Amino acid sequence: MKEAAHNLTPRQLEELRDIFNCFDTDGNGTISRDEFAQILSVVSLDPSSVQIKLLMSQVDINGDGQIAFDEFVECFGAKELTSTPDAATLQETFRVFDKDNDGYITSAELQTVLQQMGVEVTGSEAADILAEADRDGDGRVTFEEFKKMILDKPSNEQGTSSSQ
């Protein structure tokens, strides 16, 4: 069951841990059904209780009603971090952050979504995060900038310093 973790770099595991911790809003080390439902509503899926139960059962491998970190890695790690997201996935993810559907992510939108996920960030921190993707410096991120940021992320961090 832990084979997915063996295929991930330490950096990828760290990224997954950060994501997991954002979803584990009560900090108890697991993601409950309610926390899972909150995640789904943040990404605008707004599923019924039956759909939540079905999705939860797919992630909750041992069936204890909680998603432990190893289950999270098993379900999401190998799929999400070791492969390049397709255009539809990128577009849907962008839409989650682009709350007013104007084609841009602003620091206020980023702050709102992160807070909905239980991540407390100040306006200044949200602006700093946004600045990393804002290649033209206009204070907002277009889909193209967002896509470039995601796709330009090193997928294989070996700690080597080749060509620079």
- Give the chain's domains with CATH numbers: 3-81 (1.10.238.10), 87-151 (1.10.238.10)
Strands 30-31 and 67-68: antiparallel
Q: What pLDDT, on a 0 to 100 scale, did the predictor assign at position 90?
A: 81
CA atoms within 13 A on the CB side of 22: 16
Q: Which of 87, 86, 88, 113 is nearest to 98 (CA)?
A: 113
- Rounded to two decimals, the pTM is 0.50
Q: What pLDDT, on a 0 to 100 scale, did the predictor assign at position 66?
A: 92
Q: What is the pLDDT along the chain (164 residues), one digit of tens a residue?
A: 355 555 778 888 888 888 888 888 888 999 998 888 877 776 655 667 777 777 888 888 898 989 999 988 887 775 544 456 677 778 888 888 899 999 999 999 988 888 877 677 889 988 988 888 899 999 999 999 988 887 775 443 434 444 43
